[in-house]
């Protein structure tokens, strides 16, 4: 269809009578959509997507499940119970551009009751099986892209059922030029004997990166056979002649060294000409402990040891064998040892996720898994931190279908942190230097009424703690007791956060902020309720050098607006009360006239 024809049809649709606004919008969207090379599929709406047209998600902590370490430097890990589309929406506010590594193991859509769409399993006979899966994945991956940091990378496990489609989808979302590799993971060490054709022993892991990503090199998998000697400390090595072969001439490298029998040996060529050593005399004296002498027919020869543990890291290849990163069998055993029950048919081993994290993260990276399943990713991150002294933080997201989040994901990592006993009676010491917080998704009406705006701010406190990485609440601020109905204050190390729920008490809090004696360069992050984008900047002018201001809930709404589905009906709401800032009457009680229940004394 050429542009002129399309333009005429668009104008025709606009003028047609008998269409609802939804129908007209849908037809116009179809006409305006242009598709180049890539995937085309029938978009299938999700129940959760429809709910997000009317409700806004927030996160609320279940404090009873909080696990806090005695270590003051313990990383804060987050587990979110809820639909991952809703959870990703909240993370679009708390973690946009902050996630360094994403690993996900989505449903493979085998048609064998592994993929649920709108509370129903998608079977192999479903005519829209692939469209439903692509619709499902597309919505989530598009938000995931917004979460990745400038050096971010995403790893996606998949098998042959959707690998080809997923590759094209990711090319479209992340960009073909950002395709990093398609890893072959040998998932099983025992071939099936009941198949009529090939026995499939591998899965795939698709990898896409942001521009700043650098894949870490790894230690060599196998020590070459020529490292065939072992020193007194058990280190493997091989010998290399100290004399430089090939007729090289250098006066500075021609000098005598003492052999074990006291004789002085010089580097000479086979024909008797002067040769040279590989090392200068100074280096020889510095590295003399590596020298090993061998007595031959023609006298003593000097050699130096090259140790296997000095091998340089090598690039990661795209074939990962089960003996290197584990298999589904080792994963089953691992999970059973921890929670003493086998839940998943094909879990991922923590050694696989640990390897992914090792090659893709830095010591302080943030890792996200929004198909968390049994919680392997958090287990792997905590284990890697224990091994290399890292401070990586992990965010897990999973629903609670059949109690999986509470009884498997949470329970597994609770035991990994606290320690557990295997079925055979062996005790495994816990990875105690970790904090874990458990959140559930909750909802606020999407209509922009004064009640909903205030409710959104009230319920955003836990999200702000996650966003700022600040969880220690103080019950006093500048010598005054906090009031949860009016304001809350958080402080830990050099971080400070003040949340103001009632804007009429801003003047009182400005005076308190003015009393603060802050270290040089340190400021208080102040979140304040405002019905507009203006965070009452004028009122904070006195303390502007001590604070960083942010208006709520507009900051949240602006982040959500970029990822939420559009509402079907747009209602223009004008609230005369909140269209201007309220003035506090002189007779109205101040913050400090309030009793514990929040009422006037």
Q: Is the pLDDT of residue 194 over 60?
A: yes
The better pLDDT of the pair 566, 231 is held by 231
Number of domains in the chain: 3
Between 262 and 570, the more confident residue is 262
The Cβ-side half-sphere exposure at 529, using a 13 Å CA radius, reads 25
Two structure tokens written together for 125:
């006979």
The whole-number pLDDT of residue 1 equals 61
Q: Which domain holds residue 257?
A: 243-305
If asked whether residues 540 and 432 sit together in one domain, one would say no
Quote the Cα angle for 564-567-573, to 5°: 115
Which pLDDT belongs to residue 265?
94
Mean pLDDT in the chain?
89
Residue reference for tokens 């999407």:
446
Please say whether the dihedral angle defined by the alpha carbons of residues 536, 541, 546 and 548, taken in this order, is positive or negative.
Answer: positive
CB proximity list for 595: less than 8 A, separation 6 or greater:
601
At residue 597, the pLDDT reads: 38
CA nearest 478: which of 591, 594, 364, 561?
A: 591
Q: Which residues contact 78 (CB under 8 A, 6 or more apart)?
A: 393, 394, 395, 396, 436, 437, 439, 466
In this structure, are 383 and 476 located in the same domain?
A: no
* Mean pLDDT, rounded, for 160-183: 96
Residues 112 and 182 in one domain: yes
- pLDDT tens digits along 541-578: 999 999 999 999 999 999 999 999 887 644 434 444 44
| 580 has a pLDDT exceeding 70 | no
* pTM for the structure as a whole: 0.81
Q: With bands split at pLDDT 50, 70 and 90, how would you rate the model's confidence at 253? A: very high
The pLDDT of residue 206 is above 60 = yes
- What's the rounded Cα separation, in Å, for the pair 496 and 99? 22
Evaluate whether residue 229 is within a structural domain.
no
Residue 336's pLDDT is 94
> Is it the case that residue 477 has pLDDT exceeding 80?
yes
Question: How far is the C-alpha of 13 from the C-alpha of 556, rounded, in Å?
Answer: 35
**In this structure, are 427 and 474 located in the same domain?**
no
Same domain for 273 and 341, yes or no, is no
Structure confidence by residue, pLDDT tens digits, 434-455? 999 999 999 999 988 999 999 9
- Sign of the four-CA dihedral 90, 91, 95, 97: negative
Residue 492 has pLDDT above 70, yes or no: yes
Last residue of a domain, one of 388, 421, 440: 440
Residue 225 lies in a domain: no
Token duo for residue 147: 């979460």
User: Cis (ω within 30 of 0) for the bond into 149?
Assistant: no
List Cα–Cα distances, 162 to 120, 130, 204, 231, in angstroms. Answer: 19, 8, 10, 52
What is the arithmetic mean of pLDDT over 267-280? 90
* Residue 401 exposed, middle or buried by CB count within 10 Å (0-12, 13-18, 19+): exposed
| Three-class secondary structure of residue 463 per DSSP | helix
Whether the pLDDT of residue 584 is over 70: the answer is no
Question: Residue 111, CB half-sphere, CA atoms under 13 Å: how many?
Answer: 10
What pLDDT score does 587 carry? 42
Q: Dmax over Cα atoms in the chain, in whole Å? A: 109
Residues 419, 285: one domain? no
Mean pLDDT of 309-338: 91
208 and 152 part of one domain: yes
Name the domain boundary from 440, 457, 492. 440
Q: How far apart are the C-alpha atoms of 395 and 140, rounded to whole Å?
A: 15
Whether residue 214 sits in one domain with residue 106: yes
pLDDT confidence tier of residue 36, bands split at 50, 70 and 90: low
Q: Is residue 547 part of a domain?
A: yes
Identify the pLDDT of residue 599: 37
Q: How confident is the model at residue 590 (pLDDT cuts 50, 70, 90)?
A: very low
The answer to whether position 232 is within a domain reads no
Higher-scoring residue by pLDDT: 346, 123? 123
Return the minimum-mean-pLDDT range out of 25-29, 126-130, 304-308, 486-490.
25-29
pLDDT digits (tens, 9 = 90+) for 274-319: 999 999 999 999 999 999 999 998 899 999 999 988 888 888 999 9
Per-residue burial over 581-599, b = 16 or more CB atoms within 10 Å of its CB, e = otherwise: beeeeeeeeebeebeeeee
Q: Can you give the pLDDT at residue 314?
A: 84
Mean pLDDT check: name the lowest of 221-235, 237-251, 406-420, 586-600.
586-600
| Whether residue 524 is found in the same domain as residue 578 | yes
Confidence band (pLDDT; 50, 70, 90) for 598? very low
List 202's β-bridge partners, or say none.
186
Q: Tell me: the pLDDT tens digits for 508-539?
A: 999 999 999 998 889 999 999 999 999 999 99
The one-character DSSP state at 569 is S
The answer to whether residue 52 is domain-embedded is: yes
């Amino acid at each position: 269809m050429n542009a002129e024809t399309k333009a005429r049809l668009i104008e025709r649709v606009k003028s047609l009578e008998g269409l609802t606004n939804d129908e007209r919008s849908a037809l116009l969207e179809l006409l305006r959509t242009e598709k180049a090379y890539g995937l085309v599929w029938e978009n299938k709406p999700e129940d959760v997507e429809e709910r997000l047209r009317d409700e806004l998600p927030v996160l609320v902590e279940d404090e009873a499940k909080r696990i806090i370490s005695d270590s003051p430097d313990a990383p804060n890990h987050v587990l979110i119970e809820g639909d991952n589309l809703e959870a990703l929406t909240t993370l679009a506010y708390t973690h946009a551009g902050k996630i360094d590594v994403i690993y996900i193991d989505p449903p493979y859509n085998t048609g064998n009751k592994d993929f649920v769409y709108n509370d129903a399993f998608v079977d192999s006979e479903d005519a829209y099986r692939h469209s439903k899966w692509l619709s499902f994945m597309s919505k989530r991956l598009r938000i995931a892209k917004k979460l990745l940091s400038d050096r971010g990378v995403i790893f996606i496990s998949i098998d042959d059922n959707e690998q080809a489609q997923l590759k094209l989808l990711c090319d479209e979302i992340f960009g073909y030029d950002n395709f990093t590799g398609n890893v072959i993971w040998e998932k099983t060490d025992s071939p099936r004997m009941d198949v009529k054709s090939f026995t499939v022993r591998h899965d795939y892991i698709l990898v896409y990166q942001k521009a700043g990503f650098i894949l870490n090199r790894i230690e060599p998998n196998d020590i070459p056979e020529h490292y065939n000697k072992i020193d007194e400390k058990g280190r493997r090595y091989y010998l290399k002649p100290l004399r430089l072969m090939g007729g090289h001439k250098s006066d500075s490298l021609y000098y005598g060294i003492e052999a074990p029998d006291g004789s002085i040996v010089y580097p000479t060529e086979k024909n008797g000409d002067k040769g040279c050593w590989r090392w200068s005399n100074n280096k020889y004296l510095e590295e003399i402990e590596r020298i090993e002498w061998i007595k031959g027919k023609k006298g003593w020869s000097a050699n130096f040891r090259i140790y296997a543990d000095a091998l340089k890291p090598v690039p990661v290849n795209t074939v990962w064998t089960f003996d290197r990163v584990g298999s589904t069998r080792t994963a089953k055993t691992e999970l059973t040892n921890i929670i003493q029950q086998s839940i998943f048919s094909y879990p991922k081993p923590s050694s696989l996720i640990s390897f992914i994290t090792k090659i893709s993260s830095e010591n302080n990276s943030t890792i996200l898994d929004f198909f968390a399943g049994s919680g392997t990713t958090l287990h792997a991150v905590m284990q890697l931190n224990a091994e290399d002294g890292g401070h990586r933080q992990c965010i897990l997201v999973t629903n609670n279908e059949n109690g999986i989040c509470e009884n498997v994901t949470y329970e597994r990592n609770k035991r990994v942190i606290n320690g557990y006993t295997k079925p055979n009676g062996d005790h495994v010491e816990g990875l105690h230097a970790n904090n874990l917080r458990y959140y559930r998704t909750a909802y606020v009406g999407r209509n922009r009424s004064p009640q909903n705006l205030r409710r959104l701010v009230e319920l955003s406190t836990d999200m702000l703690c996650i966003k700022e990485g600040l969880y220690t609440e103080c019950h006093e601020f500048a010598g005054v007791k906090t009031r949860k109905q009016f304001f809350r204050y958080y402080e830990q190390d050099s971080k400070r956060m003040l949340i103001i729920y009632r804007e009429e008490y801003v003047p009182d809090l400005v005076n308190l902020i003015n009393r603060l004696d802050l270290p040089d360069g340190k400021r208080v992050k102040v979140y304040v309720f405002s019905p507009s984008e203006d965070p009452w900047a004028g009122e904070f002018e006195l303390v502007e050098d001590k604070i960083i201001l942010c208006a709520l809930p507009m900051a949240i709404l602006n982040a959500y607006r970029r990822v939420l589905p559009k509402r079907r009906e747009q209602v223009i709401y004008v609230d005369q009360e909140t269209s201007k800032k309220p003035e506090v009457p002189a007779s109205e009680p101040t913050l400090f006239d309030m009793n514990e229940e929040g009422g006037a004394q």
